[in-house]
Amino acid sequence: MSEPRYSVGIDLGTTHCVLSYVDLETSDRDEVARHDFGIPQLTAPGAVEMRLALPSFLYIAHPDELTPGDRSLPWDPEPRFVVGELARNLGAGTPIRLVSSAKSWLCHPAVDRRASVLPVEAPEEIERLSPLLATTRYLVHLRDAWNHRFPQSPLAEQAVTLTVPASFDPAARELTAEAAAAAGLHGLILLEEPQAALYSWILASAGAWRKQVDVGDMILVVDLGGGTADLSLIAVTERDGSLELTRVAVGDHILLGGDNMDLALAHVVRSKLAAEGKPLDSWQLQALTHGCRAAKETLLTDPDAESVPVVVPSRGSRLIGGTLRTELTREEVVNTLIEGFFPLVESSARPAVRARTALTKLGLPYAQDAAVTRHLAAFLARQLGAAADLPGFETAEGASFLHPSAVLFNGGVFKAGSLAERTLQALNAWLEAEKAPVARLLAGADLDLAVARGAAYYGYVRRGQGVRIRGGTAKSYYVGIESAMPAVPGMEPPIEAMCIAPFGMEEGTEAELPAQEVGLVVGEPVRFRFFGSSVRREDRVGMVLEQWAQGELEELEEIEADLPAQDRSPGEVVPVRLQAVVTEVGTLRLDAVSRSGDERWKAELNVRGGG
Partner 1 sequence: MSDQELSFFSRLMLAFAAFWRAVTDPDFAAGVDHLLRGEPSAPRAEPAPPAPGPPPLRETNTDSALQLLGLFQQEGRLVDFLKEDVGAYSDADIGGAARVVHEGCRKTLIEHLHIVPVRSEDEGIRITLEEGFDASETRLTGNVVGKPPFSGTLMHRGWRVSGVNLPKLAEGHEVRVLAPAEVEL
Positions in the binding site for partner 1 (CB under 8 A) = 40, 43-49, 69-70, 72, 74, 93, 294, 309, 311, 313, 315, 317-321, 323-325
Dihedrals φ, ψ of 553, to 5°? -115, 140
Please report the sign of the dihedral spanned by the C-alpha atoms of residue 376, residue 377, residue 380, residue 382: negative
State in angstroms the smallest separation of the CB of 10 from partner 1. Answer: 24
59 vs 105 by CB, closer to partner 1 = 59
Q: Which is nearer to partner 1, 298 or 509 (CB)?
A: 298
**Which residue, 321 or 564, has its beta carbon nearer to partner 1?**
321
- Distance from C-alpha of 584 to C-alpha of 589, rounded to nearest angstrom: 11
Report which of 182, 58, 179 is spatially closest to residue 122, judged by C-alpha positions.
58
Whether residue 77 contacts residue 34, with contact meaning beta carbons closer than 8 Å, is answered with: no
Nearer CB in complex with partner 1: 90/189? 90
At its nearest, how many Å lie between partner 1 and the CB of residue 280? 15
Contacts of residue 555, defined as CB under 8 A and 6 or more positions apart, other chains included, come to: 529, 530, 531, 611
Our CB check for partner 1 shows the closer of 302 and 482 to be 302
User: Which letter does DSSP use for residue 449 in this model?
Assistant: T
Q: How far is the CB of 273 from partner 1 (least distance, A)?
A: 13
What separation in angstroms does the CA of 397 have from each of 174, 214, 400, 503?
40, 22, 9, 25
Q: Cβ distance 132 to 116 under 8 Å?
A: no
Closest approach of partner 1 to the CB of residue 57, in Å: 18
- Residue 176 to residue 179: CA distance in whole angstroms: 5
> With respect to partner 1, which residue has the nearer C-beta, 93 or 392?
93
Closest approach of partner 1 to the CB of residue 41, in Å? 10
Considering beta carbons, is residue 319 or 362 the nearer one to partner 1?
319
Please say which residue, 94 or 465, places its beta carbon nearer to partner 1.
Answer: 94
CA angle 394, 399, 404 (to 5 degrees): 70
Q: How far is the CB of 47 from partner 1 (least distance, A)?
A: 4
Cα–Cα distance between 62 and 33 in angstroms, integer? 43
Q: Which is nearer to partner 1, 245 or 273 (CB)?
A: 273
Phi/psi for 491 (5° steps) reads: -130, 130
Residue number with CB closer to partner 1 (48 or 399)? 48
Confirm if 455 and 7 have CB atoms less than 8 A apart: no
Evaluated on CA atoms 439, 443, 447, 453, the torsion sign reads negative
Q: How far is the CB of 309 from partner 1 (least distance, A)?
A: 6
Task: Give 315 or 540: the residue with its C-beta nearer to partner 1.
Answer: 315
Q: Are strands 476-482 and 495-501 parallel, antiparallel or unpaired?
A: antiparallel
What lies within 8 Å, CB to CB, of 3 at 6+ separation is none
- Alpha-carbon distance of 340 to 331, in angstroms, equals 12
Q: For residues 190 and 587, what is the distance between their CA atoms, to the nearest angstrom? A: 8
* Three-state secondary structure of 592-607: EEECCCCCEEEEEECC
Query: How far, in Å, CA of 298 to CA of 203, rounded?
Result: 29
Comparison of 144 and 169: residue with beta carbon closer to partner 1: 144
Shortest approach of partner 1 to residue 49 CB, angstroms?
4
Spell out the residues 6+ positions from residue 369 whose beta carbon is closer than 8 angstroms to its own: 351, 352, 353, 375
**What's the min distance (Å) between Cβ of 312 and partner 1?**
9
> Could you tell me the CA-to-CA distances from 77 to 44, 82, 89 in Å, in that order?
15, 12, 20
For partner 1, the closer of residues 92 and 544 by Cβ is: 92
Closest alpha carbon to 454 in 221, 134, 109 = 221
- 436 DSSP β-pair partners: none
User: CA gyration radius for the chain?
Assistant: 25
Dihedral of CA 98/101/103/109: which sign? negative
Is residue 164 a contact partner of residue 10, using CB atoms and an 8 Å limit? no
Contact 236, 243 (CB under 8 A): yes
The nearest distance, CB 548 to partner 1, in angstroms, is 54
Considering the complex, what minimum distance in angstroms separates the CB of residue 17 from partner 1?
A: 19
Name residues whose C-beta falls within 8 Å of residue 488's C-beta, 6 or more positions apart in sequence: none
Task: Report the residue number, 52 or 574, with the smaller CB distance to partner 1.
Answer: 52
101 near 366, Cβ under 8 Å? no
Q: Which is nearer to partner 1, 72 or 425 (CB)?
A: 72
As a whole number of angstroms, the distance between CA 76 and CA 95 comes to: 25
Shortest spacing between CB 275 and partner 1, in angstroms: 18
Tell the smallest beta-carbon distance from residue 48 to partner 1 (Å): 5
In the complex, least distance from residue 369 CB atom to partner 1, rounded to whole angstroms: 34
Could you tell me the smallest distance in angstroms from the CB atom of residue 40 to partner 1? 8
